[in-house]
Amino acid sequence: IRDHCRCPTCFHPETKQRLIETFLELPEDIHILDVREEGDLVQIVSDGHTSQYPRDWLAASALKGKTRAVGRQGTTDETDFKQTPVEVEYAKVMESDEGVGEWLLLIRKYGFAYVNGCPATPEATEKLLERISYIRNTHYGAFWDFTANMAAKDTAYTTLAIGSHTDTTYFSDPCGLQMFHLLSHTGGQGGKSLLSDGFATAKALRDEDPQAYKILSEVPVHSHASGNEGLSIQPFQTYPVLNHDTQSGELIQVRWNTTDRAAIDLPLEDMDLWYKAARKWARQLEHHHYWEQLRPERPLIFDNWRVLHGRSNFTGKRRLCGGYINHDDFISRFKMTNFGETKVLEQVSLG
């Protein structure tokens, strides 16, 4: 507890960073000599120092592991997203942090949300996305604005249908949020958007075949992005399809991308197990399809760690713009706008 002292000598009140060299400056055999309460503060006297802590902060540090993880993830009860509409007004998001909080709560709860009334321009869409956080730069650029012209060598830049997938499985830290804004679609049809709730799919798979769920949670799957000249992006570590919080056991991330999948790291005699489990997952995904046509002035945003996306093929000319936000930045902004700074910083006492 001495290591986490909140007095201004030990913890910078502005930067919220530790100022002491715990392992060099504090005696190893430290003891609590006295505890005093003063209003909202608790003072703890130890060898040569009086530490102080906000009472709620100290109380929060006593929470058990699962509660801690829930606080860190900023989890709210996830809800089956077929009970649409899940939407928020553009003006509200642009004008107030309260509007941003409402928007992010919808995304956290349902996995996705639409924004009504956003001008159908790249400029307005980019500003909208930046209400959450800075846009993540990748080899596709930061904010993108594209037509089916194969500007980047990826199926996304064609008119082909694309099955349910999550993006950027080839990064150790896949992109958190993804926005799509259809600016125009002329001289053709099709291109319906597909969303699938990966968490609901995982739950259904666990009910159907717990062993298959376990295999997809444990077997590492390698991925790569190699279609661009001079690049082959691969994660520093391989991850399974289903990833859980190590403390609470809660499912927090789905990684599923057939086009970018590389090898499965299993002995040959066990390989069949993964393929069988993946087959069951793919079939369950089909039961969780939700289709909707994108419209100008109504950008879609979804949680790429939970919701899989795809589209039907199309004819004519489509112009889409959008971008990514990191998952940690999304959760940070979600927690700050929904719980407030004091509550969020209490979680820091938990690790």
Among 10, 107, 135, 200, binds Zn ion (CB under 5 A): 10
What is residue 196's three-state secondary structure?
strand
Between 167 and 197, CB nearer to Fe ion: 167
Looking at the DSSP assignment, which residues form a beta bridge with residue 321?
Answer: 145, 181
Residue 167 binds which one of Fe ion, Zn ion, none, with CB within 5 to 8 A depending on kind? Fe ion
DSSP state of 263: E
Q: How far is the CB of 309 from Fe ion (least distance, A)?
A: 6
Q: How far is the CB of 156 from Fe ion (least distance, A)?
A: 6
Write the DSSP string, 273-330. HHHHHHHHHHHHHHTTEEEE--BTTB-EEEETTTEEEEE--B-SEEEEEEEEE-HHHH
Q: How far is the CB of 165 from Fe ion (least distance, A)?
A: 6
Q: How far is the CB of 257 from Fe ion (least distance, A)?
A: 8
Q: Which CA distances in Å does 291 have to 29, 90, 129, 199, 337?
A: 62, 22, 23, 17, 30
Between 167 and 346, CB nearer to Fe ion: 167
Q: Which CA distances in Å does 34 have to 1, 31, 41, 322?
A: 13, 9, 14, 57
By CB under 5 A, tell whether 195 contacts Zn ion: no
* Binding residues with Zn ion: total (CB under 5 A): 5
Between 7 and 282, CB nearer to Zn ion: 7
Between 10 and 115, CB nearer to Zn ion: 10
Give the footprint of Fe ion on this chain (CB under 5 A).
Answer: 167
If you search the block for the tokens 């959450």, which residue do you land on? 132
Between 9 and 172, CB nearer to Zn ion: 9
DSSP state of 232: -
Stretch of 7-15, 128-136, 175-183, 216-224 lying at the interface with Zn ion (CB under 5 A): 7-15
What does the block give as tokens for 61? 């540090």
Q: Which CA distances in Å does 303 have to 60, 104, 210, 217?
A: 28, 10, 25, 19
Among 1, 4, 7, 282, binds Zn ion (CB under 5 A): 7
Site string for Zn ion, 21-60 (x = CB under 5 A): ------------------------------x---------
Q: Are 205 and 293 in contact (CB under 8 A)?
A: no
Longest CA pairwise span in the chain (Å): 79
Residue 303 binds which one of Zn ion, Fe ion, none, with CB within 5 to 8 A depending on kind? none
Q: How far is the CB of 348 from Zn ion (least distance, A)?
A: 16
Q: How far is the CB of 223 from Fe ion (least distance, A)?
A: 13
User: What are the residues binding Zn ion (CB under 5 A)?
Assistant: 5, 7, 9-10, 51
